[in-house]
Amino acid sequence: MSISKQGKIIALWIVFLFGTVFHTQLALMPLLYGENVMMPDTQGKMPASESWLMLGMFVLPAIAIVVTAFNNSRRYRLIHFCLTVLFTVINFIHIVFDLSVQPIVWHQIVSIVLLFVNGLLLNIVSLQWLRERDKSPKLRKKVTVKAVKNS
C-alpha cells in the first residue's frame, strides 16, 4: 500500500500533536502523588504569553493538517515546509531548555527527543512533497490556450 506524501504528513502531524499532549501529561503526573510541579522562581500565575504560545503549538499543526488534506499548491507546500522547520527548531530549543533543568527529568527528555525525531521525519517528507512537480500548471496552460482561441 502506497501512502501519498500528504497522507504521511498528516500522520506525522497527528503523532506530533499526540506527543505534545503526552509530553505535557508526563510533566503533570507527579501531581497524582502530591508532588509540586511548579516551576522554580515563579509567582504562581502562568503568564498569558505562555497560554498563547501553547495554543499556537496546537492550532498551527491542526490548521496544517486540514490545509494539507485539501491544498496541493506549490506556495502552500513551501509555507508548510517552513512551518515544519520552525517546529523542529522550537523542539530543539525545548530539548536544550529541558536539559538545563535540575534535576534532569529523563523521561521528559526522551519524549521531547522522540518529538524532535518525528519533526525531522516531517521535515524530510515535507521537503519531498515540496520538490514534487506541480501538475496544475499544465491545466492552467490548457485553460489559457483555450481562452485565447475562443477570443
Task: Report the alpha-carbon distance of residue 110 to residue 95 in Å, rounded.
Answer: 9
Give this prediction's pTM: 0.81
Task: Report the alpha-carbon distance of residue 104 to residue 25 in Å, rounded.
Answer: 17
For 131-143, write each residue's pLDDT tens digit.
Answer: 998 765 555 555 5
pLDDT of the residue at 28: 85
For residue 127 the three cell numbers come to: 521537503
For 2-38, write each residue's pLDDT tens digit.
Answer: 899 999 999 999 999 999 999 989 888 888 888 887 7
Q: Which residues contact 53 (CB under 8 A, 6 or more apart)?
A: none
pLDDT of 147 strictly over 70:
no
The residues spanned by each domain of the chain are 5-38+46-150
Of the pLDDT bands very low, low, confident and very high (cuts 50, 70, 90), residue 109 is very high
